[in-house]
Amino acid sequence: MTDASLEEIPTDECYRLLATQEIGRLGVNAEHHPLIFPVNFALDGTTIVIRTRAGTKLAAAEHANVTFEVDEIDRRTRSGWSVLVRGQAEEVGGEHRADLVARTHATGVEPWAPGDAGHWLRLIPHDVTGRRIVPGELPPAVDPRAYL
Amino acid sequence: MTDASLEEIPTDECYRLLATQEIGRLGVNAEHHPLIFPVNFALDGTTIVIRTRAGTKLAAAEHANVTFEVDEIDRRTRSGWSVLVRGQAEEVGGEHRADLVARTHATGVEPWAPGDAGHWLRLIPHDVTGRRIVPGELPPAVDPRAYL
């Protein structure tokens, strides 16, 4: 039996893993706390696109340092991976070129939560890191010494 | 067919949901960003107990405003819930009463990640909020008008 190990995930693999998910967690500083909001997202290249309504998330994210976390956890094998993006968020609006607005809308991200999600945020990564817990090798179901 | 709806989760139910999970996401302010770290946890009453090694998480969490998020997402029905705890974290050590240290250790929280997780953090909630997306009613599999 070997122990579990912790591996760093290379950048390319981080982006590939990001693309396997449709829910991530946006981290923004607001109300004196590092708030964490699960959100639907889509990718435009390496840019994370989020739709939201007016509110805490949007006000706190605009032109601020934000983070975006995705993970996948396997309770059975006590393993999993997580990817953390650090970046800047900005709302896409009238000041942007029409092609950027069109590309943003073309991601087609559709929030599950009902309500008016009329605001589109782009989160431009400036750093991405990831870690994976690789499960240890479990002992064989039959002890080979039983045959000795 | 009805649309999905968004419900606030009462405090009692938030704590009940917290207890159904063994991985949550700790939010701490560090390195000019609201960093998000998935961690194993256990509960001592309503206090969240985390074990960690020395490093960014521990240094940033100690006596600081932190958050702790748990969620459960169902991609098939495009629904889920999330609970966000706001609180203060403190490392449990020599300055604490022996019974508090004993209760903290008795939670038996065991990190999946390998390495020296010799530091125990208690996160004392001062606020907990939760939201649930209730899926809309799907259209019946057979259109009843087919029988008219």
Q: How would residue A107 be classed by pLDDT, with cut points 50, 70 and 90?
A: very high
Is B148 domain-assigned? no
- For residue A93, tell me if it sits in a domain: yes
Nearest CA distance, B65 vs chain A (angstrom): 6
Residue in chain A closest to B132 (alpha carbons) equals A113
* Any domain includes A144: no
- Best of A76, A84, A112 to substitute, by most chain B Cβ atoms within 10 angstroms, is A112
| Minimum-distance CB partner of B6 among A5, A23, A114 | A114
pLDDT of residue B38 exceeding 70, the answer is yes
Question: Is A142 within the bounds of a domain?
Answer: no
Whether B31 is covered by a domain: the verdict is yes
Q: Which residues, other chains included, contact B32 with Cβ-Cβ below 8 Å and sequence gap of 6+?
A: A65
Stronger pLDDT, B40 or A4, i.e. the higher one: B40
Q: Residue A22 belongs to a domain with what CATH number?
A: 2.30.110.10
> Is A52 among the domain residues?
yes
> Which value does ipTM take for this structure?
0.88
Q: What is the pLDDT of residue A116?
A: 77
Q: Which has the higher per-residue pLDDT, A65 or B57? A: A65
Assigned token pair, A26? 């946006």
Q: Which of A24-33, A72-81, B83-92, B110-119 has the lowest mean pLDDT?
A: B110-119
Tens-digit pLDDT profile for residues B39-95: 999 999 999 999 988 888 888 998 899 999 999 999 999 999 999 999 999 999 878
> Closest Cα partner for B96 from B120, B117, B116, B118?
B120
Strands (DSSP E) along chain B, which ranges?
5-8, 23-30, 33-40, 42-44, 47-52, 65-74, 79-92, 119-134
Q: Cα–Cα distances in Å, from B103 out to A2, A98, B16, B94, B97?
A: 30, 59, 20, 14, 10
Question: Would A60 be classed as within a structural domain?
Answer: yes
If one counts the domains in chain A, the total is: 1
Residue showing tokens 């009613």: B137
Q: Does A145 fall in a domain? A: no
Residues in chain B within 8 Å Cβ distance of A66? 33-34
Model confidence over B118-147: pLDDT tens digits? 899 999 999 999 999 988 775 555 555 555
CA angle A40, A41, A47 (to 5 degrees): 160
Q: Is A105 left (phi over 0), alpha (psi -120 to 50) or beta?
A: alpha
| pLDDT tens, residue by residue, A125-148 | 999 999 999 887 755 555 555 554
Task: Please report residues of A whose CB lies closer than 8 A to that of B4.
Answer: 112-114
Domain that includes residue A72, residue range = 5-136
Q: pLDDT band at residue A54, thresholds of 50, 70 and 90?
A: confident
Task: Determine the Cα–Cα distance for residues B84 and A35; give it in Å rounded to an integer.
Answer: 8
